[in-house]
Amino acid sequence: MSEEPRVGHANATSETASGAGEQGDGLSARSRRSRAVILDAAAELLVDGGVGGFTVDAVSRRSGVAKTTIYRHWPTRESLVLDACARLDAEYDVPDTGTLGQDLRAFAGDIAGMLQEAEWASVLPSIVDAAERSSEFAALHAEIQRRHAAPVTVMLERAIARGELDAEPESTVVAASILGPLFYRRWFSREPLDEGFLDTVVRQAVGGVGARL
């Protein structure tokens, strides 16, 4: 059986920006320990102050690792932020309930839980703000959103294979129909992400692609 895709840094390949993975990369055990210490410190800084207070100098002070070492692993501030964000991501298996509607409902419930509990939910608004001012952070923000939406592609492909859909809809549109309302309630209207709301969001998304709950 093939390994199931996962939501969060395991599925997202968190080392994309830096170009070096944790395994099979030729790094020594000491280098891997240094990377872990740096990423822990970077994630803590993001939670404490968002992107605005995030500098390589601050990461160096908190981690006790020299800036030259940090830059050897992450050539830019943005690449370090990306991997630090992946450190904050929750991780779980992409839902596989047997129907697209129930898969999307489980996905929506997991995202709603992370929005209310996960540390990245307090960091993401600062990344959105930085993305409006910096092309590098705009690319970073887009990558983070691709990671969060990636499970929807997997669920749609499974639905096609099961015969629930005649053709695969645009996965980014389906992802937006789920994530958009959740993000709106979390950061704009501040209304609760309750079960009834999640049911309504998923019902509309599923109806939009011609599937059934």
pLDDT in tens, the chain (213 residues): 434 455 553 333 344 444 444 444 567 888 889 999 999 999 999 999 999 889 999 999 999 999 999 999 999 998 999 888 877 766 668 999 999 999 999 999 999 998 988 787 888 899 899 899 888 889 888 988 888 889 999 999 999 999 999 888 999 999 999 999 999 999 999 999 999 999 999 999 999 987 765
Q: What is d(CA 115, CA 63) in angstroms, rounded to the nearest whole number?
A: 27
Q: What is the pLDDT of residues 8-24, one digit of tens each?
A: 533 333 444 444 444 44
136-145 confidence digits (pLDDT tens): 889 888 988 8
> Which domain does 144 fall in, by range?
90-208
Same-domain status, 46 and 82: yes
For the entire predicted model, the pTM comes to 0.76
Whether residues 104 and 182 share a domain: the answer is yes
Cα–Cα distance between 207 and 213 in angstroms, integer?
8
- 59 and 128 co-located in one domain: no
> Per the domain annotation, does 8 fall within a domain?
no
Domain boundary among 49, 68, 87: 87
Structure tokens at 26: 């030729």
Residue 1 lies in a domain: no
DSSP category for residue 122: H
What is the total count of domains within the chain? 2
